[in-house]
Amino acid sequence: MFKRNKKMIMLLITVMVMSIWLAACGAKPAENGAAGENDTTTETETQTEAPTERTLTDAMGHEVTIPANPERVIASYLEDHLVTLGVKPAAQWSINNGSGLQDYLQNDLNGIPGIASDLPFEAMASFSPDLIIMGSESTVEGEKYEQYNKIAPTYVLGDEVNKDWRQALLKIGELLNKSDVAQKALDDYDAKAKEIKEKVTAVTGGTKSAAALWLFNNKFYVVSNNVSSGEVMYNELGLAEPNVVKEASAKATGNWSEISLEKIAEMDADYLFLVNSDKGAGSEALKDAVWQSIPAVKTGNVFEFESTSSWLYSGVQANTQILQDIQSSIVK
């Protein structure tokens, strides 16, 4: 009897010990399980909603059904924005049978086929786009919009948005579900511009003037004060704007306005940034006595760039390169 009771007591003790041991072992999985649930909740809370097909109204009042994840986008002459957003287009803007591309973007767009700037319907269809983005209303005038829209959903930014590269980037970011990428790109650009402005101002004292000129077919053109390199020089970097540039900008019908050598000499800018499309063809205008008499020419403060540079364009990519060009020219 005693032996049997002893065995029962030993069995009970063993069961109790095993229960305590299992409870202790089970605590960690329970804790881990709780943590796992919290991790899952956090992940769910931070996870963005999957993109869905949307219907948006463009500048011309068209209700455009935007694919959930556009993969073959054509946005001719808007490629600067696509590159900024990390998007490779199905085809890129070109002239001269595909040989003339936006060279400053080719590190990112190398190998992307060109499409003629007038966007022929057959050529457009051959690239099987799933979204077409147009900059200006004039590109779809008449019955063109219906033709393009048969090929793929076609969204027109409109001139008001298209002329403001920041707004154009944000709108394209919205269309491609990349609004956050677009905003970050703008924030990073503004920070870069501020950094370079401080370096340039340290050299110029904030009083030096500048102008950007374009030499093409032996004629000079000056950039307007609120677009492209004009915006970078005067708005971003705070370089002084000559009165001649102000006058030309007030009358401008485009980004660049023709200007005489005499007017260039009259502006007496401290720095001249010259986009030379005549390089290799003689650049005869640069041999003219009036050009040679300009103070900036005499002092060696003319900084020349190839026609393939970004100085004729606008956007995060173009403007960043212009900022860097100005910094490397002025800040020694």
Q: State the DSSP string of 73-120.
A: EE-TT-HHHHHHTT---SSEEEBTTTTB--GGGHHHHTTPPEEETT--
The identity of residue 318, as a single letter, is A
Mean pLDDT for the stretch of residues 215-232: 96
The identity of residue 303, as a single letter, is F
For residue 221, tell me if it sits in a domain.
yes
Is the domain of 239 the same as that of 169? no
Q: What gap in Å lies between CA 153 and CA 60, rounded to an integer?
A: 14
Mean pLDDT for the stretch of residues 225-245: 96
Mean pLDDT for the stretch of residues 1-10: 44
Domain range enclosing 110: 54-177
pLDDT top residue among 41 and 109? 109
pLDDT at res. 140: 97
* Beta-carbon-side half-sphere exposure of residue 175 (alpha carbons within 13 Å): 32
User: Is residue 18 over pLDDT 80?
Assistant: no
Q: Which spans in the chain are helix H?
A: 2-46, 79-84, 106-109, 121-126, 144-151, 159-162, 165-175, 179-204, 228-230, 243-251, 261-267, 289-293, 295-298, 316-330
Is the domain of 63 the same as that of 121? yes
For residue 66, tell me if it sits in a domain.
yes
User: Is residue 35 over pLDDT 60?
Assistant: no
pLDDT at res. 27: 42
The identity of residue 14, as a single letter, is T
Which residue has tokens 């190398």? 110
The sign of the CA dihedral 293, 295, 299, 301 is negative
Is the domain of 221 the same as that of 244? yes
pLDDT at res. 282: 81
Is the domain of 301 the same as that of 211? yes
Cross-strand pairs, 209: 240
Count the domains in the chain: 2
Is the domain of 84 the same as that of 128? yes
The identity of residue 213, as a single letter, is L
- The mean pLDDT of the chain is 88
In percent, the amount of the chain with pLDDT more than 70 equals: 85
pLDDT in tens, 239-248: 999 999 999 9
For residue 312, tell me if it sits in a domain.
yes
pLDDT in tens, 66-97: 999 999 999 999 999 999 999 999 999 999 88
pLDDT confidence tier of residue 225, bands split at 50, 70 and 90 = very high
Residue 221 has which token pair? 């053109």
Is the domain of 133 the same as that of 203? no
For residue 165, tell me if it sits in a domain.
yes
Mean pLDDT for the stretch of residues 110-130: 97
Is the domain of 207 the same as that of 297? yes
User: Is residue 204 over pLDDT 60?
Assistant: yes
Q: Between the CA of residue 44 and those of 28, 49, 162, 320, what are the distances in Å?
A: 24, 10, 37, 37
Which residue has tokens 């650049």? 283
Rg of the chain taking only CA atoms, in angstroms = 31
User: Is residue 208 over pLDDT 50?
Assistant: yes
DSSP helix/strand/coil, 64 = strand
Is the domain of 155 the same as that of 218? no
Listed residues 148, 177, 206: the one ending a domain: 177
CB 233 within 8 A of CB 239: yes
Please report, for the domain that includes residue 249, its CATH number. 3.40.50.1980
Report if pTM > 0.85: no
For residue 290, report the phi and psi dihedrals to the nearest 5 degrees.
-65, -45
The sign of the CA dihedral 103, 108, 111, 116 is negative
pLDDT at res. 4: 44
For residue 21, tell me if it sits in a domain.
no
For residue 49, tell me if it sits in a domain.
no
For residue 272, report the phi and psi dihedrals to the nearest 5 degrees.
-120, 130
pLDDT in tens, 277-306: 999 888 999 999 999 999 999 999 999 999
User: Is residue 132 over pLDDT 90?
Assistant: yes
Q: What gap in Å lies between CA 129 and CA 276, rounded to an integer?
A: 36
In percent, the amount of the chain with pLDDT more than 90 equals: 81
Q: What gap in Å lies between CA 38 and CA 22, rounded to an integer?
A: 24
Is the domain of 281 the same as that of 312? yes
Listed residues 154, 177, 200: the one ending a domain: 177
pLDDT at res. 48: 56
Is the domain of 157 the same as that of 268? no
Is the domain of 244 the same as that of 200? yes
Listed residues 149, 177, 205: the one ending a domain: 177
The sign of the CA dihedral 220, 226, 228, 233 is positive
For residue 145, tell me if it sits in a domain.
yes
pLDDT in tens, 89-119: 999 999 988 779 999 999 999 999 999 999 9
For residue 36, tell me if it sits in a domain.
no
Which residue has tokens 């370079």? 196
pLDDT at res. 332: 81
Is the domain of 89 the same as that of 143? yes
